[in-house]
Amino acid sequence: MLFRSPLAVHLFILYWGMLSFITPPVALGAFSAASIAQASPIATGFEAMRLGVAIYLVPFLFALNPSLIGNAPAGQVAVDLAQTALGVALVAYATQRVMPGLGVVSHLSAGVVFAAGLCIMMPQAVWLRLGLDLMQALTISGCLLAGVCVVEWAKGHAAARAR
């Protein structure tokens, strides 16, 4: 059963209602910003969606992980919130193709960071259904991120030497 509590259902619906402010064709927030900036409203709405792609995943995480809405011991809530925040941050960095300390990354590296962010934010129940435990999933994600960092650092180092 996906939705285990009425609170998760209500938060899911409320959250998606708030996402309408950046999702075309409604996109009231994006369209207001476009009129102030004298830009194309639809293009601004789609850019807002691209920049906010990570927040489209959060309501599903409420439904999959009850500790994100406080239905768990305090230690578990803290760990799951930190894990989810890291995953959401990585997905956001990937969609913007900018990593802290590395600058602009390639499309391939951004795709790997996106996948690692998804792996990190998924709750333990999802990994158990796939036959992995959480530590294995986090290890895979960490290796992917380390590989991206090494490749992007090497590319930046090579470019600096060429100058």
pLDDT tens, position by position, 84-132: 999 999 999 999 888 888 888 888 889 999 999 988 888 877 777 888 8
Angle at 152 between CA 147 and CA 158, to 5 degrees: 125
Structure tokens at 14: 């409320």
Is the pLDDT reported for residue 28 higher than 90?
A: no
Query: Residue 4 has what pLDDT?
Result: 67
Cβ atoms of residues 116 and 90 within 8 Å: yes
Q: Distance between CA 41 and CA 32 in Å, rounded?
A: 8
Cβ atoms of residues 2 and 62 within 8 Å: no
Taking residues 58-76, report their average pLDDT. 86
Cβ atoms of residues 24 and 46 within 8 Å: yes
Tokens 């090497």 locate to 154
Confidence of residue 39 (pLDDT cuts 50, 70, 90): very high
Dihedral sign of CA atoms 66, 69, 71, 77 in order: positive
Collapsed DSSP state (helix, strand, coil) of residue 2: coil
Confidence of residue 78 (pLDDT cuts 50, 70, 90): very high
pLDDT, tens digit, 9 for 90 and up, residues 131-144? 887 788 888 888 88
Collapsed DSSP state (helix, strand, coil) of residue 85: helix
Q: Distance between CA 34 and CA 53 in Å, rounded?
A: 19
The reported pTM is: 0.81
Is the pLDDT reported for residue 3 higher than 70?
A: no
Query: Residue 38 has what pLDDT?
Result: 93
